[in-house]
Structure 1
Amino acid sequence: MHVIFQPAEERGFDSGAQRMVAEGLFDRFPCDAVFAMHNHPGRPCGQLMSRRDQFMAAGDRVFITVRGVGGYVARPHLTQDPVVGAASIIIALQTVVARNVPPDQTAVITIGMLQGGKALNIIPAEVQLGLSMRSFDPAIRALLRQRITDIVQLQSASLGLSAEIHYVEGYLVVCNSEAETTLVLQVAAELVGEDNVDGEMDLLTGSEDFAYMLQARPGCLIRIGNGEAPQANKMLHNSGYDFNDNNLVLGAAYWSRLVERCRSPRARCRC
């Protein structure tokens, strides 16, 4: 058994797990299977959740710079305003999922960064946008890239602006393997009872670089409930997030039981 410390998971690309696998993690520390646990606000503390096959989304990043001609706000006709261009791009991007992605497919486009200008009386020369995309299907992933690229370039050109796009393919889809997920759910049921285990959790549009380890070895990621209100109102990536200390006991018990079961001759996977 090996305990893997996974650095730089939140980077979104060129992450810790990706680098570790590429640099021979499983050659130096052989593993037949890998397992991970992730906190999940909004579900009661004491519940464990997972699913077979696809579980968490692929995640990509786009960094966009919209360039124009800055100047005095009182004479906007002498400028080419990238703020207006960025606003136009943001609105147009909202149509991609709504009008280009089939309704039975899952996709997310979120603009998480908008930076431009420092003074109220100056139109800046450039504005920067940062986007995050999530998807499960390779064709949808390619569609998002094409539509985002087209919209950014065409919206910018229509306003006499230019745009530079830096598209970064990020994490893979998290795919839990069959035998390892079955074992994980059995262990979870032994600890908290079947009523507190959800083995068919909905697809999650969050991304996780544990996907790179699952690409190299079979395994399973499980979620542990962090609690409902007030924790449910303080979701992940929120400044008010509060880890539920009661999870320490359950989490430790889960890992201990999983190791015991993996070492048992009755286990379906070789850990």
Structure 2
Amino acid sequence: MPVVNRIADFSADMAAWRQHLHTIPELAFECHETAAFVADRLREFDVDEVHQGIATTGIVAIINGQGEGPTIGLRADMDALPIPEETGVAYQSTKPGNMHACGHDGHTTMLLGAARYLAETRNFRGRVALIFQPAEEEGGGAGVMVEEGIMDRFDISQIYALHNAPGIPEGSFQTTPGPIMAAVDTFEVHIQGLGGHGAMPHETRDPVMAACGIAQAIQTIVSRNNYALDSLVISVTQIHTGTVNNVIPDTAFINGTVRTFDPTVQKMVMERMEQIVQGQAQSYGVEARLDYEVNYPATINDADKTGFAAEIARDVAGADRVMTNVDAMMGAEDFSYMLQSRPGAYLFLGQGEGAGLHHPKYNFNDDIAPVGASFFARIVEKAQPLG
């Protein structure tokens, strides 16, 4: 079963919604204009309930089907990125320095398209909860919405989400059971030494050398402490210290990211990093503090729900355009919090060739919006069929 005919009928409307959203990119939890636009469309579609102000600007909309049944959740993220836009499109960002460089304008549009169709047809039992979430890029809005009780409040039993994927054939789907995206942690190392003249290093306790030693030693966690078949990435991404060429500074700063799938590996990294930072600091005669922040957990698809979602994807796109055993990615996604709370699945929807995610020339492909909306609509109708 290809793209739903009724959804195809209003594909031009969807493109208009998406392009309007593209002009008003908002960051983190401050998605006020975006949420207002979404709420207005939902009320136009005559959904049964619109609950606003969850996680500041998040929305949960309810559409009742025909007869008793469970509630299925569908999620779209709404926030943008602090990237100056370079697309040159007529509908480019009106907010300097911000742009929809990850396609969340398209994700929101796909869920709005599904909402319009489902509110018109109601060809399902129970209810559907449409979740429009802020702060995926920064702030963990999905986790905040879970903490504020949406799963229990709306009695959601299973949940699904899509993310567009440049470089994957247009309109095709990719997913996998189990881990599909990594947990992401952040670390900072603050080093306090004793500065002095660059010509007299013996009178200093050099934080620059300590920073170099710590950064190199941290990499040994991957090569010498981790089992080679357990996925792990540790990247030092910043070292800041010093001001001029003949002064040894007092302080240095190191920053980086850790990506894991296994909590045991994550725990090992935290322990070894603390040991390395303190041991290296002592060897260089400086003081150092490790600040390690645990962020989004790994995104882990439920095996049964992933298989079911893949069936729906095949109905929409064709069997030869659905891959169900793709390699997990070391990127992260806060939909992980929702999958920790309820079984479900996360899938990638190909948008064809073009600039990659988080690139200033990225632009969502409006042609795939009806495909994503059809997937969302069909998964509700097949999960909670009438009769």
Report the TM-score, using the length of structure 2 for normalisation: 0.62
Query: Structure 1: 5+ residue runs without aligned partners?
Result: 267-271
Counterpart-to-counterpart distance in 2, 1:96 and 1:71: 32
The secondary structure found in structure 1 opposite 2:131 is coil
Counterpart-to-counterpart distance in 1, 2:249 and 2:367: 50
Counterpart-to-counterpart distance in 1, 2:140 and 2:376: 24
**Which range moves more in the overlay, 173-182 or 73-82?**
73-82
Please say if 1:134 is aligned against 2:255: no
Please say if 1:26 is aligned against 2:147: no
Query: Structure 2: 5+ residue runs without aligned partners?
Result: 1-127
Counterpart-to-counterpart distance in 1, 2:254 and 2:204: 20
Give the direction of change, closer, same or farther, for the CA distance of 1:55–1:74 in structure 2 (3 Å limit): same
Counterpart-to-counterpart distance in 2, 1:247 and 1:49: 14
Question: 2:372 matched to which residue of 1?
Answer: 251
Counterpart-to-counterpart distance in 2, 1:15 and 1:247: 26
Once the two structures are superposed, what CA deviation does each residue of 1:187-208 show, in whole Å capped at 9, x if it has no partner? 1111211111111111222222
Offset, 1:68: 0.8
Please say if 1:3 is aligned against 2:127: no
The secondary structure found in structure 1 opposite 2:333 is coil
Counterpart-to-counterpart distance in 1, 2:238 and 2:165: 25
Question: 2:218 matched to which residue of 1?
Answer: 93
Counterpart-to-counterpart distance in 2, 1:130 and 1:261: 47
Please say if 1:191 is aligned against 2:312: no
Letter in 1 for 2:224: R
Correspondence 1:6-85 to 2 at 5 A: 6-11=133-138, 15-85=140-210
Offset, 1:242: 4.2
Offset, 1:249: 3.2
Correspondence 1:108-257 to 2 at 5 A: 108-228=233-353, 230-231=354-355, 234=356, 236-257=357-378
Give the direction of change, closer, same or farther, for the CA distance of 1:217–1:158 in structure 2 (3 Å limit): same
Offset, 1:241: 4.1
Offset, 1:238: 4.4
The secondary structure found in structure 2 opposite 1:246 is helix
Once the two structures are superposed, what CA deviation does each residue of 1:66-111 show, in whole Å capped at 9, x if it has no partner? 1111233333332222122111111122221122111111111112
Question: 1:269 matched to which residue of 2?
Answer: none
Once the two structures are superposed, what CA deviation does each residue of 1:183-233 show, in whole Å capped at 9, x if it has no partner? 2101111121111111111122222221111111111111122434x53xx
Q: Is the radius of gyration larger for structure 1 or structure 2?
A: 2
The secondary structure found in structure 1 opposite 2:331 is coil
Offset, 1:46: 2.0
Offset, 1:50: 0.8
Question: 2:384 matched to which residue of 1?
Answer: 263
Question: Taking CA–CA contacts closer than 8 Å with sequence separation of 6 or more, which of the two structures ends up with the larger relative contact order?
Answer: 1
Counterpart-to-counterpart distance in 1, 2:171 and 2:316: 9
**Which range moves more in the overlay, 154-163 or 119-128?**
119-128
Counterpart-to-counterpart distance in 2, 1:238 and 1:151: 35
Once the two structures are superposed, what CA deviation does each residue of 1:218-262 show, in whole Å capped at 9, x if it has no partner? 11111122434x53xx3x344554433433332223223323323
Counterpart-to-counterpart distance in 1, 2:367 and 2:198: 55
Alpha-carbon RMSD:
2.1
Give the direction of change, closer, same or farther, for the CA distance of 1:65–1:224 in structure 2 (3 Å limit): same
Letter in 1 for 2:135: A
User: How many residues of Structure 1 are paired with residues of Structure 2 in the alignment?
Assistant: 260
Counterpart-to-counterpart distance in 1, 2:256 and 2:293: 10
Letter in 1 for 2:378: R
Counterpart-to-counterpart distance in 1, 2:351 and 2:215: 34
Counterpart-to-counterpart distance in 1, 2:363 and 2:280: 41
Counterpart-to-counterpart distance in 2, 1:129 and 1:10: 22
The secondary structure found in structure 2 opposite 1:5 is strand
Letter in 2 for 1:117: G
Counterpart-to-counterpart distance in 2, 1:71 and 1:57: 43
Counterpart-to-counterpart distance in 2, 1:155 and 1:105: 26
Counterpart-to-counterpart distance in 1, 2:143 and 2:226: 29
Counterpart-to-counterpart distance in 2, 1:258 and 1:38: 16
Counterpart-to-counterpart distance in 2, 1:241 and 1:123: 42
Aligned residues: percent identity? Answer: 37
